[in-house]
């Protein structure tokens, strides 16, 4: 079709089409219908080009301008993000061709207002860091995230892991797109468990991955959880009009169907119980509490003497003052397991008596496990995790968390009430009715269900 144009006419059409279409798009952004503007634009171009091409028929003119118009729209659609709906509508705009008119001097074209520059929709690394601070502040303000006494928020780990492993290697003006999100997911699948400790020892991410045991990398659930964490952050940015799409959508890894978490059999449970009963102090009661309450290792490691009510025979799992819980439903009061009640009470009384004899700073220490070293919750938790894995690796070959899975599994097998099981372990109730109208189980109801355990 380009043969129909002499050079000046073709350039004239392209220039006017580009300016006119961009201006039409800018009109649509303010809710102004651009169709009428495009009609006038095309009629004006056809008239002007006809003056320079008197030998062409109206049909040829219509085809020539129409072809140039479509080509220009396609080019603009590639370059202007976020205007797909507008451009698609303009492609169907009819072109009317005026009847041939007598040769005359072309009228001066009306000046076309210059539209505001179209902003790119991609977020840069600099933008992401800035918006995370806003996202964090908003969640804290509305009480969705809790700040510890040290000023930390549990969810800070979501972004700090992202920053340390990935963002820090990118330039501040790098646009973060879907391809980079996939690259981050791939990197997470190669990271070993406990990778953050290696960073503290001065290793780079490449070195950490190179030294990693392929059989001990982050699990699918851990990777998926981080995809969800980042996805929630991006959804917030979409709602704030900082970006137009969530690059994390569809990046969760689909786990193999039918794969269930490990739980201990009766032989392993009896062996673990016999080994724990042969010990004293925390080496005895931390494993037994895990077996008979299903509490998380961090919840047990952070217990203090004032979390145990000897009169009511209960244990409080809470947060604040250096303690943390996973979520709202994790904050709970559970019974001292009947299976170990008397022995545990005697142990707690002994710790309280020993602490009452301390003076100075030592008198302020109220931990239930004075022999477990560590200044912070995480350090105490890590000591317990390492000690348990080392001591019981030959007997059961599993981490402390297997006790939680076993506790829940055995209660279900014993036909315990599912709603009470969830209250004991701090899981959220599933149905809307249960969440809103159901009261939490009493301590006595929990105690009755714990007694159903076969070990």
CATH number, domain at 374?
1.10.443
Flag whether 246 is in a domain: no
Shared domain for 233 and 317, answered yes or no, is: no
182 or 85, greater pLDDT:
182
pLDDT tens digits for range 6-18: 434 555 555 555 5
Q: Is residue 428 part of a domain?
A: yes
| Selection from 36-45, 248-257, 300-309, 384-393 with the highest mean pLDDT | 300-309
Residues 78 and 133 in one domain: no
In a domain, 214, yes or no: yes
Q: Both tokens of residue 9?
A: 């006419």
Report which listed range, 3-17, 101-115, 370-384, 395-409, is most confident: 395-409
pLDDT at residue number 142:
87
Nearest to 252 by CA among 233, 227, 217: 227
Domain contains 248? no
Per mean pLDDT, which range of 160-164, 190-194, 299-303, 361-365 is the poorest? 361-365
What band does 119 get if pLDDT is binned at 50, 70 and 90? Answer: very low
How far CA 125 is from CA of 130, 181, 230, in Å, comes to 9, 12, 14
Specify whether 442 is located in the same domain as 294.
Answer: yes
Query: What's the pLDDT band for 98 if we cut at 50, 70, 90?
Result: very low
For residue 413, is it within any domain?
yes
pLDDT digits (tens, 9 = 90+) for 412-450: 999 999 999 999 999 888 765 565 556 889 999 999 999
pLDDT of residue 279: 93
- Write down the pLDDT at residue 216: 78
Show Cβ contacts of residue 130 under 8 Å, excluding neighbours closer than 6 positions. none
62 CB-contact burial (10 Å; exposed 0-12 / middle 13-18 / buried 19+): middle
Q: Can you tell me the mean pLDDT for 282-286? A: 95
For the residues 346-356, what does the mean pLDDT come to?
A: 93
Q: What is the pLDDT of residue 20?
A: 62
Q: Give the model's pLDDT for residue 78.
A: 56
For residue 272, the model assigns a pLDDT of 92
**For residues 184 and 394, which has the higher predicted lDDT (pLDDT)?**
184
Give me the domain span that covers residue 220. 123-239
Same-domain check for residues 228 and 273 = no
Which pLDDT belongs to residue 276? 92
- Mean pLDDT across 376-395: 82
Question: Do residues 386 and 287 share a domain?
Answer: yes
Same domain, 186 and 284: no
**What are 314's strand-pairing partners?**
309, 335
Give the mean model confidence (pLDDT) for residues 26-47: 58
Q: Are residues 273 and 411 in the same domain?
A: yes
Q: Is the model more confident about 152 or about 225?
A: 225
Q: What is the 3-state secondary structure (H, E, C) of the chain?
A: CHHHCCHHHHHHHHHHHHHHHHHHHHHHHCCCCCHHHHHHHHHHHHHHHHHHCCCCCHHHHHHHHHHHHHHHHHHHHHHCCCCHHHHHHHHCCCCCCCCCCCCCCCCCCCCCCCCCCCCCCCEEHHHHHHHHHHHHHHHHHCCCCCECCCCCECCHHHHHHHHHHCHHHCCCCCEECHHHHHHHHHHHHHCECCHHHHHHCCCCHHHHHHHCCHHHECCHHHHHHHHHHHHHHHHHHHHCCCCCCCCCCCCCCCCCCCCCCCCCCHHHHHHHHHHHHCCCCHHHHHHHHHHHHCCCHHHHHCCEHHHEECCCCEEEECCECCECCCCHHHCEEEECCHHHHHHHHHHHHHHHHHHHCCCHHHHHCCECCCCCCCCCHHHHHHHHHHHHHHHHCCCCCCCCCHHHHHHHHHHHHCCCCHHHHHHHHCCCCCCHHHHHHCCCCCHHHHHHHHCCCCC
Give the pLDDT mean for 332-361.
91
CA dist., res. 16 & res. 3, Å (int): 19
pTM of the model: 0.51
Say if residues 445 and 424 touch (Cβ distance below 8 Å). Answer: no
Q: Tell whether 72 and 164 lie within a shared domain.
A: no
Q: Which pLDDT value is given to residue 45?
A: 62
- What number is the average pLDDT over the span 390-407? 86
Asked whether residue 205 is domain-assigned, the answer is yes
Are residues 196 and 340 located together in one domain of the fold?
no
Question: In the chain, pLDDT over 90 holds for what percent of residues?
Answer: 38
Summarised one tens digit per residue, pLDDT across range 233-276 is 999 999 999 999 999 999 988 866 544 557 899 999 999 999 99
- Residue 416, pLDDT score: 94
Model pLDDT, residue 93: 47
Is 23 a domain residue?
yes
On whether residue 317 sits in a domain, the answer given is: yes
Tokens 């006038």, residue located: 40
**420 and 352 within one domain:** yes
Q: Give φ, ψ of 100 to 5 degrees.
A: -55, 140
State the Cα–Cα distance between residues 409 and 209, nearest whole angstrom.
Answer: 35
Please indicate, yes or no, whether residues 140 and 217 belong to a single structural domain of this protein. yes
Residue 372 and residue 438 in one domain? yes
pLDDT for the residue 178: 92
| Count of structural domains, the chain | 3
């Amino acid at each position: 079709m380009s043969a129909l144009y002499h050079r000046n006419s073709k350039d004239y059409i392209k220039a006017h089409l580009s300016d006119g279409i961009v201006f039409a798009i800018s009109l649509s952004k303010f809710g102004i219908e651009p169709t009428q503007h495009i009609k006038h634009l095309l009629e004006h171009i056809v008239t002007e080009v006809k003056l320079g091409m008197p030998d062409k028929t109206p049909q040829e003119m219509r085809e020539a301008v129409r072809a140039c118009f479509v080509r220009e729209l396609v080019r603009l659609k590639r370059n202007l993000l976020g205007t797909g709906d507008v451009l698609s509508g303009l492609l169907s705009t009819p072109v009317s061709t005026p009847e041939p008119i007598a040769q005359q001097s072309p009228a001066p074209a009306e000046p076309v207002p210059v539209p505001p520059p179209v902003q790119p929709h991609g977020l840069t690394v600099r933008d992401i860091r800035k918006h995370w601070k806003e996202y964090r502040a908003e969640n804290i303000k509305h009480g969705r995230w809790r700040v510890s006494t040290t000023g930390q928020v549990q969810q800070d780990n979501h972004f700090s892991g992202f920053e340390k492993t990935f963002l820090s290697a990118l330039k501040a003006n790098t646009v973060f797109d879907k391809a980079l999100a996939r690259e981050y997911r791939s990197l997470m699948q190669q990271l070993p468990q406990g990778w953050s400790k290696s960073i503290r020892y001065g290793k780079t991410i490449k070195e950490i991955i190179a030294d990693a045991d392929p059989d001990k990398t982050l699990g699918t659930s851990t990777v998926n959880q981080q995809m969800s964490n980042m996805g929630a952050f991006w959804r917030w940015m979409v709602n704030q009009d900082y970006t137009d799409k969530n690059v994390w959508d569809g990046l969760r890894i689909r786990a193999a169907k039918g794969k269930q978490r490990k739980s201990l059999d009766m032989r392993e449970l009896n062996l673990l119980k016999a080994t724990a009963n042969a010990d004293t102090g925390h080496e005895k009661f931390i494993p037994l509490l895990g077996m008979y309450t299903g509490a998380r290792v961090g919840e047990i490691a952070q217990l203090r003497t004032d979390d145990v009510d000897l009169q009511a025979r209960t244990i409080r799992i809470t947060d604040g003052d250096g303690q943390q819980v996973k979520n709202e439903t994790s904050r709970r009061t559970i019974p001292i397991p009947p299976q170990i009640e008397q022995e545990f009470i005697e142990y707690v009384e002994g710790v309280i008596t020993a602490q009452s004899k301390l003076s100075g700073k030592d008198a302020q220490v109220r931990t239930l496990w004075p022999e477990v070293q560590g200044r912070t919750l995480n350090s105490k938790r890590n000591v317990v995790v390492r000690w348990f894995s080392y001591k019981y690796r030959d007997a059961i070959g599993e981490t402390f968390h297997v006790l939680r899975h076993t506790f829940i599994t055995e209660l279900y097998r014993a036909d315990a009430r599912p709603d009470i099981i969830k209250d004991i372990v701090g899981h959220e109730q599933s149905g809307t009715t249960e969440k809103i109208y159901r009261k939490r189980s009493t301590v006595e109801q929990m105690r009755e269900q714990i007694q159903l355990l076969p070990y």
